[in-house]
Amino acid sequence: MLRVGYPAVIAAELLRDFPQGIELIPLPDQLDHDIDIDVWIPDPYPARAIQIVPRLRGLRLVLSLMAGTEWIPGAVGPHVTICNAHGAHNISTAEWTVSAILAMLKHFPFYLDVQRSGQWKRRFEASANYAAITGDARPLYPPVMLEELTGKTVLMVGYGGIGKQIERMLAPFNVELLRVARSVRANPQVHAVSELDSLLPRAQVVVLILPLTADSHGLIGSRQIALMPQGALLVNAARGPIVDTNALVEALNQGRIRAALDVTDPEPLPEEHPLWRCPNLLLTPHVAGSSPQFAPRSLSTAAGELRRYIDGQPLENAVQLAL
Ligand SMILES: NC(=O)c1ccc[n+]([C@@H]2O[C@H](COP(=O)([O-])OP(=O)(O)OC[C@H]3O[C@@H](n4cnc5c(N)ncnc54)[C@H](OP(=O)(O)O)[C@@H]3O)[C@@H](O)[C@H]2O)c1
């Protein structure tokens, strides 16, 4: 009988979709003895999961509940097949992205500050903030206190599972969407990443939703930021090192662009890091993929993959096939 180890912190009722005829074994964070496991569902936090790896014997398949599996090949070796939970984060991360765009264009971080100060009259500061960050010097009356997303040009760098969800959620806003991926294609039009610099000047919002790789490391540096229009919004829901942090801090402090970040470089962001104090910035501590729906969704993905493994069908989310 196939022995499937899973983190004991996960409620057993969430494993009800798992195939019949397997033995489900709850695993603690620490093990003081070896244990025979054919299939392992690691704790989503690598620092916790990695502690029991030396105690696992006979491992053949790892079913990660996360999209990122960077630490697993080195921990379990090349003779184990590894699958990720591709897609399990799509909805929550796309919703974070759209929320962050709207929050910044509606100046919610400023209005939260106003609320905390209890000073209604401070709303008139919003017009000055708007003029300063966008460079819009028109004598607009009544005063501008919020902006609109509708009709803006959004450049999305990365057009995979999450990118397509973001596009679906942005549809009612009638934005002009420019898509960039590794490879060029049509219907819908997707530009090659080599065209990024020529597209940046057109974008009022730039969304980063691509993996961190050798090619994407530092993709957005001081040159790319300089190509963005005054006051453009850079949204990073992907990975911190895709953006050059020093260049971003400088641009934010100069009032060149705005940013919404769920991810930073480094992570965790140290308390004294200058990014915390930058103006025109909304920062969340790498939480975009989280929601109550995540665990059921990623376990359902794992159950499907386990069923295919047992039936000898091709795996859908393999990131490493056993040698
Ligand atoms: N903040 C969070 O909590 C959170 C949660 C989940 C995921 N993420 C991040 O989001 C990333 C994207 O997730 P996903 O599920 O949408 O990935 P995906 O389905 O694999 O799609 C990745 C997209 O990025 C493109 N891409 C890859 N390398 C590129 C490069 N160097 N330049 C330009 N485009 C490139 C791919 O291009 P092609 O289409 O041409 O292959 C593809 O369109 C993940 O890798 C992860 O880092 C963050």
Task: Kindly provide the b/e burial profile for residues 201-227, where b requires at least 16 CB atoms within 10 angstroms of the residue's own CB.
Answer: eebbbbbbbbebeeebeebbeeebbeb
**For residue 70, pLDDT beyond 90:** no
Banded model confidence at residue 168, pLDDT cuts 50, 70, 90: very high
CA distances from 162 to 67, 88, 209, 210 (A): 11, 10, 7, 9
Residue 68 confidence (pLDDT) above 90: no
Q: What is the pLDDT of residue 260?
A: 99
Q: Which residue's CA is minimally distant from atom 45 of ligand 1?
A: 211
Atom of ligand 1 nearest to the CA of 183: 40
Residue 252 to residue 254: CA distance in whole angstroms: 5
158 CA to centre of ligand 1 in angstroms: 5
Residue 212 Cα: closest atom of ligand 1? 47
pLDDT band at 73 (very low <50, low <70, confident <90, very high): very high
pLDDT of 295 over the 90 cut: yes
Mean pLDDT of 161-174: 98
pLDDT of 67 strictly over 90? no
Q: Where are the alpha helices (DSSP H) in the chain?
A: 46-49, 72-76, 90-105, 108-117, 125-134, 161-170, 196-199, 222-227, 245-253, 294-311
CA of 229 to the centre of ligand 1 (A): 24
pLDDT at 319 over 90: yes
Residue 296 has pLDDT above 90, yes or no: yes
Question: Which value, to the nearest 10 degrees, does the dihedral of the CA atoms of residues 125, 129, 130, 131 take?
Answer: 100
Calculate the average pLDDT of the chain. 96
Q: pLDDT at residue 19 above 90? A: yes
Cα(159) to ligand 1 centroid in Å equals 7
Report whether residue 283 contacts ligand 1, using a CB cutoff of 6 Å. no
Q: How far apart are CA 288 and CA 263, in angstroms?
A: 9
Identify whether the C-beta of residue 306 lies closer than 8 Å to the C-beta of residue 6: no
Q: Whose CA is nearest to atom 41 of ligand 1?
A: 182
Residue whose CA is closest, atom 4 of ligand 1? Answer: 289
Band the pLDDT of 135: cuts 50, 70, 90.
very high
Atom nearest to 239 CA in ligand 1: 47
User: What DSSP string runs through 151-181?
Assistant: T-EEEEE--SHHHHHHHHHHGGGTPEEEEEE
Question: Hey, what are 159's tokens?
Answer: 């057009």
Burial class from Cβ neighbours inside 10 Å (0-12, 13-18, 19+) for residue 119 reads: exposed
Q: Active-site residue numbers? A: 239, 267, 286
What separation in Å is there between the alpha carbon of 222 and the centre of ligand 1? 22
Q: What percent of the chain has pLDDT over 70?
A: 100
Residue nearest to atom 40 of ligand 1 (CA): 182
User: Which residue has a Cα nearest atom 31 of ligand 1?
Assistant: 216
The pLDDT of 162-180, averaged and rounded, is 98
Residue 179 in this model has a pLDDT that exceeds 90: yes
- For ligand 1, whether the C-beta of 210 sits within 6 Å is yes
Look at residue 59 and tell me whether its pLDDT is greater than 90: yes
**What would the pLDDT profile of 28-58 be if each residue is shown by its tens digit?**
999 999 999 999 999 999 999 999 999 999 9
Q: What is the pLDDT of residues 191-249, one digit of tens each?
A: 999 999 999 999 999 999 999 899 999 999 999 999 999 999 999 999 999 999 999 99
- CB of residue 241 inside a 6 A radius of ligand 1: no
Query: Is 288 close to ligand 1, i.e. is its CB under 6 Å away?
Result: yes
Nearest Cα neighbor of 209 from 157, 261, 273, 168 is 157
Residue range 4-26: mean pLDDT, rounded: 95
Output the CA 142–ligand 1 centroid distance in Å.
42
Please tell me the predicted confidence (pLDDT) of residue 99. 98
